[in-house]
Amino acid sequence: MPSLIEHIDAIARAKKRDVLFLTFTRNGKRDSSRYEQNESRIQILQWLDAMGIHWEPCGEIASEYRFASYDGAVYIDVPFDVDNPDYLKLAAFLEYPDGTMRFADTQFFALSLKIAMKNAHHDEPGFWDRVADNF
């Protein structure tokens, strides 16, 4: 069944805060056809579910000039706040103490609201319809 997947910058604007997300690779490359088979992604999503941490599929930062299929990226509904217990738990699970990732094929990102706001015009009614008409 088709579903609407929001871009991470749209999620940041809706939440009105910085947001966290994960991307996944296979042999160092993005692979939209096999993200559901990515073992790291499976383990991380199971852990998030077990911890009661909400997550949802997301697209990367929206672009008016490039369209891509969903490749498994995940928004994590935990504030990017080093004093937040859920953030500390998440970071400890995903990263070693030196900040390197525990999952070699996973990238952990924070997107600032300031950067997300650069695409605020994307939220105007009919914006994406106009982009599609002129693509």
pLDDT of residue 128: 82
CATH number for the domain harbouring residue 108: 3.30.70
pTM to 2 decimal places: 0.89
SS3 string, the chain, reads CCCCCCEHHHHHHHHCCCEEEEEECECCECCCCCHHHCHHHHHHHHHHHHHCCCEEECECCCCCCCCCCCCCCEEECCCCCCCCHHHHHHHHHHECCCCCECCCCEEEEEECHHHHHHHHHHHCCCHHHHHHHCC
Q: Does residue 81 lie in a domain region?
A: yes
Residue 76: inside a domain:
yes
The whole-number pLDDT of residue 69 equals: 83
How far is the C-alpha of 89 from the C-alpha of 133, rounded, in Å?
A: 45
Q: In this model, does residue 1 exceed pLDDT 70? A: no
In a domain? residue 28: yes
Q: Is residue 120 part of a domain?
A: yes
- For the segment 73-84, the average pLDDT, to the nearest whole number, is 97
* Range scoring the smallest mean pLDDT among 8-17, 62-71, 106-115: 62-71
How many structural domains does the chain have? 1
16 occurs within a structural domain = yes
Mean pLDDT over all residues of the chain? 91
Q: 24-51: per-residue pLDDT in tens? A: 987 666 665 678 888 999 999 999 999 9
Query: What pLDDT is stored for residue 110 in this prediction?
Result: 97
Domain range for 55: 8-133
Q: Is residue 3 one of the residues assigned to a domain?
A: no
User: Is residue 30, in this structure, part of any structural domain at all?
Assistant: yes
Tell me the pLDDT band of 11, cut-offs 50, 70 and 90: very high
89: which 2 tokens? 């738990």
Q: Cα(61)–Cα(115) distance, rounded to whole angstroms?
A: 9
Q: Is the pLDDT of residue 61 over 90?
A: yes
Residue 115 lies in a domain: yes
| pLDDT score of 35 | 83
